[in-house]
Amino acid sequence: MEKIGFIGLGIMGKPMARNLMKAGHSLVVFDVNSAPVEEIVLEGAERACSPKEVAELCNIIITMLPNSPHVKQVVLGPEGILEASCAGKILVDMSSISPLVAKEISSKAAAAGLRMLDAPVSGGEPKAISGTLAIMVGGDEEIFAQVQPLLLSMGSSAVHVGEIGSGNVTKLANQIIVALNIAAMSEAMVLATKSGVDPEKVYQAIRGGLAGSTVLDAKMPMVLKRNFKPGFRIELHIKDLMNVLDTAHSIGVPLPLTGHVLEMMQALKVDGRAAEDHSALIRFYEGMAQTEVGNVTDQP
């Protein structure tokens, strides 16, 4: 198998890179932080000193970075991917960024002969580790078909959703639904707890019905254990929802519920909880109701 470039070895990127190696792919890796690079190199990857060097050594480059400015820097900046000879190569950006920025980067990449897909993911760290991410892909369908087997080394599904930028529009839609699900779960479970009903029993009673969801099954057990170690940090969901609102406002789409949940998350960030899992959104409701889910009180 040919070498695959991988740039960005954070909470999501590192396990994704590991799954590519488990599938038999040779990796050339780069990250601005040396510690995860050392880990992956010890496991068999090759180190690169810059995004440019990654692009020089590989025909397919994957990026998994925090936000739009980081992707622009890695692709367009000094010692960036486009400073290498890129004709005929493929860039798969798996970061969650603004769809408008994905289109901008793709246009500049195309001028240099670099073909690009935007392919953000859903599932958080647990699914990145297990290799069962949901991957939503925008860009040329023929390029997608070429890299789909590679994507399925990291995910249980990889679906082509349209032209470049469509992957990130799909991810933004996903993030709206996840955020509002967590908010709805939080309202319901704070109500149950303060009414004196065991929230774990409420969860077990409703999870098989229409209110059941993947979000409920992933996040409610964490809340009950008071385990807010991040699979997906509040600060990252804030970033995604800000991209949601920027995109929505640019095309005239009001999103009132998304705006409310974003402000709740911003309040938790101000309270020092930015690095907690987004299931900690329930703390906002607990604070207003002066109750803690998991600690059943007598009905007032």
Q: Residue 2's pLDDT is what?
A: 78
State both tokens at 55. 């692009």
Res. 8: pLDDT tops 50:
yes
> Residue 20: what pLDDT?
98
Domain-embedded: residue 299: no
Q: What is the mean pLDDT of the chain?
A: 95
pLDDT for res 101: 95
Asked whether residue 158 falls in the same domain as residue 244, the answer is: no
CA atoms within 13 A on the CB side of 126: 9
Active-site residue, 103 included: no
pLDDT exceeds cutoff 80 at 11: yes
Q: Which of 52, 103, 127, 171 is catalytic?
A: 171
What's the farthest any 2 CA atoms get from each other in the chain? 69
pLDDT value of position 164: 98
Task: Among 112, 144, 164, identify where a domain stops.
Answer: 164
Of 134, 164, 194, which closes a domain?
164
Quick one: 147 and 204 in the same domain? no
Is 242's pLDDT higher than 90?
yes
Going by their DSSP bridges, the two strands 155-162 and 133-138 should be labelled as parallel
Number of structural domains found in the chain? 2
Q: Are residues 224 and 122 in the same domain?
A: no
CA–CA gap between residue 134 and residue 128 (Å, rounded): 9
Q: Are 119 and 112 in contact (CB under 8 A)?
A: no
- For residue 148 the two structure tokens come to 């789909």
Q: Which residue, of 164, 188, 206, is where some domain finishes?
A: 164
175-226 confidence digits (pLDDT tens)? 999 999 999 999 999 999 999 999 999 999 999 999 999 999 999 999 999 9
Same domain, yes or no, for 38 and 121? yes
Distance CA 189, CA 261 (A): 17
Residues 6+ positions from 198 with CB-CB distance below 8 Å: 192, 296
Domain containing 274: what range?
Answer: 169-289
Q: Tell whether the model's pLDDT for residue 118 goes beyond 80.
A: yes
Whether residues 26 and 72 fall in one domain: yes
Q: Residue 131: inside a domain, yes or no? A: yes
Q: What is the pLDDT of residue 249?
A: 94
Residue 137 shares a structural domain with residue 205: no
Q: How many CA atoms lie within 13 A of 72 on its CB side?
A: 11
